[in-house]
Amino acid sequence: MKKYDFDTLVDRRGSGDVKHAAMQQTYGRDDLIGLWVADMDFATPDFIVDAIRERLQHPVLGYTVEPEDFRPAIVDWIASHHQWEVKPEWLSYIPGIVKGIGLVVNCFLEKGDKVIIQPPVYHPFRLIPENNGYEVVFNPLIEQKDGTYAMDFEQLERICDESCKLFILSNPHNPAGLVWDKDTLRKLARFCHAHNILVISDEIHSDMTLYGHKHIPFASVCPEAAEISITFGAPSKTFNIPGVVSSYAVVSDEELREKFFGWLEASELAAPGLFPPIATIAAYRNGEEWRRQMLEYVQGNVDYVADFCSAHLNGIKALRPQASFLVWLDCRGLKLSHDELVDLFVNKARLALNDGEMFGPGGQGFMRLNVALPRQVLAEALERLKAVL
Ligand SMILES: Cc1ncc(COP(=O)(O)O)c(C=O)c1O
């Protein structure tokens, strides 16, 4: 069996990647170790690059039809990994998941409608509806003793009114890396069904569960969930191809599907470009072994961080993610103000992490650390933190 290499340093500077090219503008300096933007510093797997390269052998990059195996590859992957039987006609390409949120907002909402999200959560969940003129209502998660979070259903009853028409679920939940259990998802589905609320279930991190956790697709938990939901998925995070833009929507309910897919098709938004289907098929048909080895390496990095924090970083606790390569660092024990905390990471330790505040209420005092990188760089980052503490 091929052993993949996650230890080799890949110099991304000069490739225009956001993590490095936007560092100066975001942090005011560009001499930091980049541990923020959620893509990996590992090389994109060879079987994907080879598939794209093979297509490049042809001298014409003209208009193309969707390859025959595009939908079957997605259907088979979801069935074998998440035991959810999706029909090919339930699928549509979308030009990105964040853009997909904007598309749903514009297709389904009307003036005065509101959107519910559960912070601390991936910041575009707030920004996209707000930028499109819709009010966002918070149902903050409840922090548990062990550092994980739970949904607050009593609070959800209180904050929800008849203007709330869309709920955006992060499943698994970014930034804390939570896998939601079936009972919670079912309870949420019944609540939203009863209140006539459409649910976007963003499942981009679903193929990266760690420590034996199992992802449960929202739409699969009960008939009510299937009736009210649009699921977003992609091979982009798992296989490190977010620049290819290979996302898709799954809608099992016929009425919802006709409305959303019809709206997408009216503007040809559901037509993939040349490379996304090629990358998706290569990832889903050939990627299982790479995915397994990558997750083993990432889990090793998570353990490394958690152990290092308890041994050397007094005041910082790492929450081991149940899914994803993002570690939610609880830095409240340092007793620093927000500005002092950012200054410590950026100007003293020279590390670029995502500041927890950007994820909304509950994110204060936290930092989000991306551990999808060679361990020696991660070790260097942690040593820098130790030195300044
Ligand atoms: C929960 C979640 N959704 C969506 C995205 C981005 O998806 P896309 O690149 O398809 O817009 C990310 C990237 O970090 C994410 O964490």
Please check whether residues 251 and 322 belong to one and the same domain.
no
236 lines ligand 1 (CB under 6 A): yes
Query: What whole-number distance in Å separates Cα of residue 36 and Cα of residue 20?
Result: 10
Amino acid at 112: G
Domain boundary among 229, 253, 286: 286
Query: What average pLDDT does the chain have?
Result: 98
**How many structural domains is the chain composed of?**
2
Residue 377 has pLDDT above 90, yes or no: yes
Q: Which of 97, 354, 369 for a ligand 1 pocket mutation test, highest count of atoms within 8 Å of Cβ?
A: 97
Judge whether 7 lies within some domain.
no
Q: Which of 37, 40, 98, 173 for a ligand 1 pocket mutation test, highest count of atoms within 8 Å of Cβ?
A: 98
According to DSSP, residue 144 is labeled P
Burial, 27: exposed, middle or buried (Cβ in 10 Å; 0-12, 13-18, 19+)?
buried
Judge whether 359 lies within some domain.
yes
What token pair was written down for 352?
Answer: 């670029």
Domain boundary among 286, 311, 338: 286
Residue 1 has pLDDT above 90, yes or no: no
Average pLDDT of the residues in 133-140: 98
The whole-number pLDDT of residue 91 equals 98
Question: For residue 72, is the peptide bond before it cis, meaning its omega torsion is within 30 degrees of 0?
Answer: no
Please check whether residues 280 and 171 belong to one and the same domain.
yes
Among the atoms of ligand 1, which is closest to the Cα of residue 174? 1
Judge whether 210 lies within some domain.
yes
Confidence of residue 185 (pLDDT cuts 50, 70, 90): very high
Please check whether residues 319 and 240 belong to one and the same domain.
no
Please check whether residues 281 and 303 belong to one and the same domain.
no
Please check whether residues 278 and 249 belong to one and the same domain.
yes
Please check whether residues 204 and 333 belong to one and the same domain.
no
Q: What CATH number has the domain bearing residue 211? A: 3.40.640.10
Please check whether residues 379 and 269 belong to one and the same domain.
no
Q: Cβ neighbours of residue 235 under 8 Å, at least 6 residues apart?
A: 77, 207, 241, 246, 279, 280, 283, 284, 287
The closest of 277, 278, 279, 281 to 93, measured between CA atoms, is 277
Please check whether residues 139 and 268 belong to one and the same domain.
yes
Average pLDDT of the residues in 92-104: 98
Share of the chain above pLDDT 70, in %: 100
Judge whether 52 lies within some domain.
no
Judge whether 1 lies within some domain.
no
Judge whether 51 lies within some domain.
no
Range of the domain at 129: 63-286
Please check whether residues 229 and 191 belong to one and the same domain.
yes
Q: What CATH number has the domain bearing residue 313? A: 3.90.1150.10
Please check whether residues 107 and 30 belong to one and the same domain.
no
Domain boundary among 230, 260, 286: 286
Query: What whole-number distance in Å separates Cα of residue 21 and Cα of residue 13?
Result: 7
Judge whether 10 lies within some domain.
no
Residue 188 has pLDDT above 90, yes or no: yes
Average pLDDT of the residues in 267-275: 96
The whole-number pLDDT of residue 214 equals 98
Cα 71 to the chain's mean position, in Å?
22
Confidence of residue 316 (pLDDT cuts 50, 70, 90): very high
Confidence of residue 166 (pLDDT cuts 50, 70, 90): very high
Please check whether residues 150 and 299 belong to one and the same domain.
no
70 lines ligand 1 (CB under 6 A): no
Instruction: Determine contact, residues 371/6, Cβ cutoff 8 Å.
Output: no
Instruction: Quote the ligand 1 centre to 335 CA distance (angstroms).
Output: 31
240 lines ligand 1 (CB under 6 A): no
Whole-prediction pTM value? 0.97
User: Alpha-carbon dihedral of residues 329, 330, 335, 336, nearest 10 degrees?
Assistant: 40
Please check whether residues 164 and 297 belong to one and the same domain.
no
User: Alpha-carbon dihedral of residues 360, 141, 94, 67, nearest 10 degrees?
Assistant: 130
Query: What whole-number distance in Å separates Cα of residue 206 and Cα of residue 257?
Result: 22
Judge whether 8 lies within some domain.
no
